[in-house]
Structure 1
Amino acid sequence: MAKALLGHVGGPDPRMVSELRRLQQRIRDLEAELTRLQAQNDALTAQAREDALVRLEDREPALT
């Protein structure tokens, strides 16, 4: 019983620490990717709005 308790309170398992660090790095990578994609989406949305305005300005008036 003493060995089990000593092993349990002896400190974190190195494999778990390694896995935790790997997962934290993956989260940072995914957050960076999300930020990049949001910026790209914002730029594309702005360009689409600009293109739509240009198309509206280029229309010929309807015959009256």
Structure 2
Amino acid sequence: MAKALLGHIGGTDPRMAAEMRRLQQRVRDLEDQLVRVQAENDSLAAAVQTASLDHELFATTVAEREPALT
């Protein structure tokens, strides 16, 4: 009876330990993926910001031109 209780309450179940290791690895993989995606997002946001500034500069330059003779 003591062995049954020990196994049920505090014993180490190899399947449970394996599942815990698998889940911990999955969490680490997802955290790594999150870091990569955030870095890619920051890069894309910077590119959009740069493109937006370029567009504003171009729009200002076009607006300052004199109208074409008709």
TM-score band w.r.t. shorter chain: 0.7 to 0.9
CA distance in 2, matches of 1:44, 1:6: 55
How big is the shift at 1:8?
2.8
CA distance in 1, matches of 2:55, 2:25: 45
CA distance in 2, matches of 1:11, 1:4: 9
The reply on whether 1:32 has 2:54 as its aligned counterpart is no
What is the number of equivalent residue pairs in this alignment? Answer: 64
Q: How does 1:17-28 map to 2 (within 5 A)?
A: 17-28=17-28
Identity %: 54
How big is the shift at 1:47?
0.3
Corresponding letter in the other structure for 1:7: G
> Following TM superposition, where does structure 1 have runs of at least 4 consecutive aligned residues deviating by more than 3 angstroms?
none
List runs of 5+ in structure 2 lacking aligned partners: none
List runs of 5+ in structure 1 lacking aligned partners: none
Per the normalisation by structure 1, the TM-score is 0.85
The equivalent residue for 1:16 is 16
Provide, for residues 5-54 of structure 1, a one-character-per-residue CA deviation record: whole Å limited to 9, x for no partner. Answer: 23235621000000000000000000000000000000000000000100
Per the normalisation by structure 2, the TM-score is 0.78
**Larger relative contact order, structure 1 or 2 (CA cutoff 8 Å, min sep 6):** 2
Question: Computing the radius of gyration over CA atoms, which structure comes out larger, 1 or 2?
Answer: 2
CA distance in 2, matches of 1:28, 1:22: 10
Aligned to 2:63, the other structure's residue is in SS state coil
